[in-house]
Amino acid sequence: MGGFGYLLMLLNSLAFVGLLAAGGWVGWRALRDHGERRVGDPAERLLAERFARGEINDEEYQRRLDTLRHV
């Protein structure tokens, strides 16, 4: 095996380790975030905060949430 053979073997090994690391990272994030409810939209987050503080009731929360999601 010549010099280029060793170089290709090294590059293949690095690519394989990189793919394993990327797969592990994606799997870890999926397991870590599983079950968490994220509210990404600022309007939905504000609405959820108002509901949590008791400023609005369940019916009003659901109605406004439906309105926000169908706009």
- 50 shares a domain with 22: no
pTM: 0.45
- 46 shares a domain with 31: no
- 69 shares a domain with 49: yes
Tokens standing for 63?
């109605």
Structural domain range at position 23: 1-36
Query: Strand, helix or coil at 54?
Result: coil
The domain total for the chain is: 2
- 30 shares a domain with 43: no
Query: Strand, helix or coil at 49?
Result: helix
Q: What pLDDT is attached to residue 64? A: 95
DSSP secondary structure code for residue 55 in this structure: S
Q: Tens digit of pLDDT for each residue in 4-26?
A: 888 999 999 999 999 999 999 99
47: number of Cβ within 10 Å: 20
- 69 shares a domain with 44: yes
Give me the chain's average pLDDT, please. 89
- 55 shares a domain with 27: no
- 11 shares a domain with 25: yes
